[in-house]
Amino acid sequence: VQLQASGGGAVQAGGSLNLSCVATGRIYVLNGMGWYRQAPGKERELVAGITRDGVSNYANFVKGRFTISRDNAKNMVALQMNNLEPEDTAVYYCNSRAKTTIDSSAFDYWGQGTQVTVSS
């Protein structure tokens, strides 16, 4: 399973970005999908997650500014980020817990990361 993220960039505070991530390769099922971020000198942290059935959860720091969505038919997960703050500056990684065959165990797969930079 390969995850390809896109949509990062540089914006001013208060701006918006939409991140998307597409899974390709040998996929039997994508279970949970989500977005994590890692700022310089900090540990990677969960931003938002979504189940295959569309149940979502968010980190407290999102404060209603971000919306996660997924399209199961397209093996895609997206993160709409509004009212961005300088503290949101980080590399954002998409993640999926996936199975490659009906008999395989589920493993975590990661995208390559996309940089989000928010200036004040």
* pLDDT tens, per residue, the chain with 120 residues: 999 999 999 999 999 999 999 999 999 999 999 999 999 999 999 999 999 999 999 999 998 999 999 999 999 999 999 999 999 999 999 999 999 999 999 999 999 999 999 999
Task: Output the pLDDT for position 56.
Answer: 97
Q: Give CA–CA dist 100/54, Å, rounded.
A: 21
Backbone angles phi, psi at 88, to 5 degrees: -85, -5
Task: Output the pLDDT for position 63.
Answer: 80
105 neighbors 99 (Cβ within 8 angstroms): yes
119 neighbors 10 (Cβ within 8 angstroms): yes
Helix (H) and strand (E) counts in the chain: 0, 11
